[in-house]
Each structure stands twice: as structure tokens, then as C-alpha cells.
Amino acid sequence: MQKEHKQEINNGAKEEKGKNVISMPFLEMNFDKEETSQQSPKGKEIREKRNMVDLMECDNQKTKKICGSGDIVHKLEPQKKMDNEISPTNNNGFPGWLTNQVPRFNSFKSVDDKASESMIKKARVSVRTRSEATMISDGCQWRKYGQKMAKGNPSPRAYYRCTMGLNCLVRKQVQRCAEDRSVLVTTYEGQHNHALPPTAKAMASTTSAAASMLLSGSMPSADGYINPAILESAGFPCSHSMATLSASAPFPTITLDLTKKPTTSPFYDHNCMSTPNIFGSQIMEPATFAETVSAATAAVTSDPKFTAALVAAITSMIGSSHPNNNGANGTNGDQQSNNTT
DNA sequence: CGCCTTTGACCTGCGC
DNA sequence: GCGCAGGTCAAAGGCG
């Protein structure tokens, strides 16, 4: 059994190194090169060449529901206890990479660190995309630190850690949907404590906004889709069942399902990455995803309730902000600003 | 030579 | 208390 898995894994690895780097134009766009140079220009290039289809953060809880794989979620749930306890500090539910609320992550986990982590983990963002690549490139640099076979899913789950920042503890899990292997599910967790590429910021803004909306109760139901009207009003072409928020989970989960085909959208082929041909052939236009994200952001933030919630959230964050957080939050601050505006 | 991936082992939490 | 599953660590090997 393990041997089989190994084979699969190995194959996957080879694919990654060889060619499967589906760079998601939407996130890679401009910043790839820029951001990459921040740390290890060399490493970046290498990474970029590998299989990455970039997106942002995926939340597996949602994924679980959608895909039925129920892998990642399992482990995440246990954190709910801690999250609840710590939630006061991060009641906004902003994904870490968005707010930098979390002081920092380190290999050494003190009590405080753990607490911070919990906070960061509160909000997750899942992105489901249809792609042949082993990973989506979201503009950040990731280092693989583990891989595991998840129960109920023949595809291995890969664990990545952000290496763009020295102590950035943002992590992401990449796994293929058990029911539809062509669907790549990426779950992001934590906050970036460093500057993010423009595309990454856009994504972060969108997801954070959604998370905020969810937590603030702006959502009509604890478990549902973002109001299509809101999204569409902002011109979000893939609004139909594309973004899903879940408040029923231990922590807020945002799922961006980019695999679904909108019922009405002449832009579908261009703005949604769901079509196999788009991913498969990697023809997606660079600006499309960014535009989509921007539209989503605008849509989400256009909601008065959300805005109010966001203000409250930010206020709360500021009130409970930690000195250390501020320093590393340059980026986050920007993101927050974006959200507010 | 340095960085990254691979992978088995270990740790932790949850359900029974 | 035990077993299972997920997540992380760290040594070894590979690649550029």
C-alpha cells in the first residue's frame, strides 16, 4: 500500500520538477519576478519553473464538503478549541496572510506562538481550481515540508511553507479532489509577515473581505454562498457558486471554487479558470484572474454590511494589535487599507 | 555548494 | 486507554 502511494508521489514529484508548473497567470502576473527577487532570486526561479498553478488560499473544510475527501478538515477541526479560546484577539477572522495579526511563526512553538498560530489558523481560504499542475502559483515562494496520504483520497496531500519571509509561517496544503482528480484544492493558512505581490494582495483582499463578511454575520446563512447579487453587481463573472463561506466550521472558511461553470457569463472562458482547456493549455490570460479577484474584492467590499463589519474588525484588530505585529504588518496594513477602501 | 524534495518517524488530537 | 489520522520534523539524496 505504501509503495503504491510512494509511486504516486514520486510520479507527482517528477511532474512537478519537469513541467507541471501551471503558473496561474492571475497571481503570478507581475509579481512573480519582483517578489521572488526579495529572497532568493535563484530559488524563486526554480520554484517558478516547477509545477505551480498559483492561487491563494484554500480552505479545506469547504473543500471537504465540496469534494467529499474530508482529509484536511479532519486535522483542522481539532484546532477549533484553541481557536475559540484565542479568538478574541482575532475575532475578525482575517486570514493571517491578510492581517499580519499574528506576531510571527517560528519553528519553536512557545505557548504564545501556539496561540498566535491558532489565531492565524482561524480563517482559512480554499481555492479549488481545475488544473493539471501539481500546484498553483500564487506569487509566493513555498517550500515543501511534507507530504501525506490522506484517508479517502488516493492523491497525496502536500504541505508547503511560505519562504518569502524569514519567519513567515503561512502554510498551505495542496491536494487533488478525491472525486475529481482534475480539481486541485489549495488551502492557505496563516498570515504573511512580509510584502505580498500585487496579485497576492488582490487575492488576499478578496478572501479577507469574504472572511470578514462571514464572521461579521453579513452572510445570510452560516453556511452559504456569497450573495451572488453582490458579486454580480460588481461584475464578478464567476459569482455563481464560486465563493463559499462557512461559519459552521471550527473557523471561518472561504472557498473559492474556480471549477464551477457560471450559468451566465460570456466571460466564463476568459475569467474563470474552471475550463479544462484553460488550465490544461495554460492559456489563461495574465490579467484575467487578477481582474476577477479585483472584481470579487469590489463586490465583497461593496456590501455595506461587510464594510461595517470590516471597520469593526479592523478596529478590533488595532485594539488588540501586538507591537510585534505592527512591524511585520507593513504588507498587511496595505491589505487592510485596501479592504477598507 | 546551497537549496529543495522526499520520506519515514514522531507528535498531537480525536473518536471509540 | 488505544488506535487512527493528520500534521510536522529532520536526515538523506538530488538538482541546478
The pTM of the full predicted model, rounded to 2 decimals, is 0.59
* Banded pLDDT at A58 (limits 50, 70, 90): very low
Residue A268, pLDDT > 80, answer no
In a domain, A178, yes or no: yes
Strands (E), A169-232: 171-176, 183-189, 223-225
pLDDT digits (tens, 9 = 90+) for A228-261: 554 444 444 444 446 666 554 555 567 777 766 5
- CATH number of the domain within which A146 lies: 2.20.25.80
Which nucleotide is closest, CA of A5 to its C1'? B7
Percent above pLDDT 70 for chain A: 22
How far in angstroms lies nucleotide B3's C1' from the CA of residue A172?
A: 20
SS3 at position A310: helix
Q: Which residue is nearest to nucleotide B4 (CA to C1')?
A: A143
Specify if A13 maps to a domain. no
Q: Which nucleotides of C are covered by protein (CB under 7 A)?
A: 4-10, 15-16
* pLDDT (mean) for A287-291: 45
Q: Return residues with beta carbons within 7 A of strand C.
A: A 17, 46, 60, 70-72, 74-76, 107, 145-152, 157, 159, 171, 173
pLDDT of residue A149: 87
CB A26 within 8 A of CB A56: no
Rounded to an integer, the average pLDDT of A291-318 is 44
Q: In the prediction, which pLDDT does A129 show?
A: 82
> What does the pLDDT look like over A95-153, one tens digit per residue?
434 333 333 333 333 444 444 444 444 567 788 888 777 777 677 788 888 898 888 88
Nucleotide nearest to A169 (CA to C1'): C8
- Give the pLDDT confidence score for residue A269 in this predicted structure: 36
Nearest nucleotide relative to A158: CA against C1': C7
Protein-contacted positions of strand B (CB under 7 Å)? 3-9, 13-15
Give the CA-to-C1' distance from A144 to C10 in angstroms: 13
Distance of A46 CA from C16 C1′ (whole Å): 8
Full residue range of the structural domain in which residue A130 is found? 121-220+240-258
Residues with CB under 7 A from strand B: A 2, 6, 9-10, 12-14, 16-17, 40, 42-43, 46-47, 50, 77-78, 80-81, 141-148, 158, 163
* A277 CA vs C9 C1’ separation (Å): 39
Domain count, chain A: 1
- Give the pLDDT of residue A13: 35
Total count of residues recorded for chain A = 341
Collapse the DSSP code of A147 into the 3-class scheme (helix H, G, I; strand E, B; otherwise coil) and give the result.
strand
pLDDT tens digits, residue range A169-216? Answer: 788 888 888 778 788 888 888 777 777 776 666 665 655 665 555 555
Residue A320 covered by a domain: no
pLDDT at A206: 59
Query: A246 phi and psi, to 5 degrees?
Result: -135, 125
Give residue A79's pLDDT: 37
User: Which residue bears the cell 482575532?
Assistant: A90
- pLDDT in the model for residue A168: 77
